């Protein structure tokens, strides 16, 4: 046995002596393959490594309301998400002509609303990025920040039909899954026809989730403020106070 070990050792030395350059190169390639297979996990921060399922809740949030919060919490529970990041849009590409509240005010309202849920976070990613906010850019950026994490893009059913006209939808669906929350009064009929036309491997990335009937919309809240009607119990108190003290949606 000793003889065998010694011979193997000598043989290894010989290989190393004659093929030093070759063996160094192979160590280098093995290291590269290892790093690639771990998807550069070793460069990630500890928190990113612990998250295996991450939800993204995108929206204008003008203002954020309980419809958004109930949907995000429902998705977190249903799909066992470790965290949901709320990303207020900077400049929505399809709403460019519509007057919107200043991005950092929408950000602040969203920050106040998510503060009470330890699983919720907020990111200024889209607000800080110049130009129109395209979902593909956001999803790619999140995938880069959380390599190896399964990303779920949470959206209301009304937005699903918009997905199908979004820029690079096939690319988005190959990076993340969509959780489509059914919104009261919204019929998925035509949308499902369009989804059905997608290739099977993309179609399976659109998941449906029912949320308790919440007929709340930001449009409705803005209108109520303009008309001086109450918005209490439609959104968190902290957001209501922010709207009142900053005179938002008055005109």
206 contributes a contact to ligand ATP by CB under 6 A = no
Among 126, 151, 183, 225, indicate the residue that binds ligand ATP (CB under 6 A).
Answer: 183
Q: Choose between 60 and 138: whose C-beta lies nearer to ligand ATP.
A: 60
| Side-chain half-sphere CA neighbours of 148 within 13 A | 17
Q: Binding marks (x or -) toward ligand ATP, 64..103, rule CB under 6 A?
A: ---xx--x--------------------------------
Task: Verify binding: residue 152, ligand ATP, rule CB under 6 A.
Answer: no
Q: Which helix (H) or strand (E) holds 131?
A: none
Q: How far is the CB of 131 from ligand ATP (least distance, A)?
A: 19
Cα–Cα distance, 104 to 131 (Å, whole number) = 15
Q: Which is nearer to ligand ATP, 137 or 158 (CB)?
A: 158
Provide the edge-to-edge strand list for the sheet that holds 176-182.
Answer: 120-122, 83-88, 53-59, 150-156, 176-182, 206-210
H helical segments located in the chain = 2-18, 20-37, 46-50, 66-78, 103-114, 125-128, 135-145, 157-163, 169-175, 189-196, 200-203, 218-227, 237-245
Stretch in the footprint of ligand ATP (CB under 6 A) among 130-138, 144-152, 188-196, 214-222: 214-222
Of residues 135, 149, 191, 218, which one binds ligand ATP by CB under 6 A? 218
Cα-flanking dihedrals φ and ψ of residue 99, to 5°?
Answer: -70, 125
Q: Which residue is nearest to ligand ATP (CB)?
A: 156
Spell out, one character per residue from 30 to 59, where the chain touches ligand ATP: x when CB under 6 A holds, - when not. -----------------------------x
């Amino acid at each position: 046995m000793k003889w065998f070990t010694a011979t193997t050792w000598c043989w290894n030395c010989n290989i190393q002596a004659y093929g030093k350059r070759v063996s160094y190169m192979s160590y280098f390639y093995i290291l590269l393959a290892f790093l690639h297979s771990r998807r550069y996990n070793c460069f990630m921060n500890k928190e990113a490594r612990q998250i295996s399922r991450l939800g993204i809740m995108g929206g204008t949030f003008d203002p954020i309301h309980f419809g958004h919060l109930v949907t995000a919490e429902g998705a977190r529970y249903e799909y066992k998400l470790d965290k949901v990041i709320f990303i207020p849009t900077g400049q929505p590409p399809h709403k460019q002509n519509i007057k919107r509240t200043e991005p950092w005010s929408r950000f602040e309202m969203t920050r106040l609303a998510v503060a009470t849920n330890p699983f919720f976070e907020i990111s200024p990613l889209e607000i800080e990025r110049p130009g129109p906010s395209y979902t593909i850019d956001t999803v790619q950026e999140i995938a880069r920040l959380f390599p190896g994490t399964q990303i779920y893009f949470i959206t209301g059913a009304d937005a699903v039909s918009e997905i199908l006209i979004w820029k690079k939808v096939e690319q988005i669906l190959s990076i993340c899954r969509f959780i489509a929350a059914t919104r009261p009064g919204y019929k998925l009929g035509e949308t499902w026809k369009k989804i059905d036309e997608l290739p099977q491997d993309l179609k399976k990335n659109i998941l449906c989730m029912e949320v308790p009937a919440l007929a709340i919309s930001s449009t409705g809240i803005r209108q109520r403020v303009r008309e001086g009607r109450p918005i209490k119990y439609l959104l968190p108190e902290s957001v209501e106070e922010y709207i009142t003290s900053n005179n938002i949606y008055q005109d």
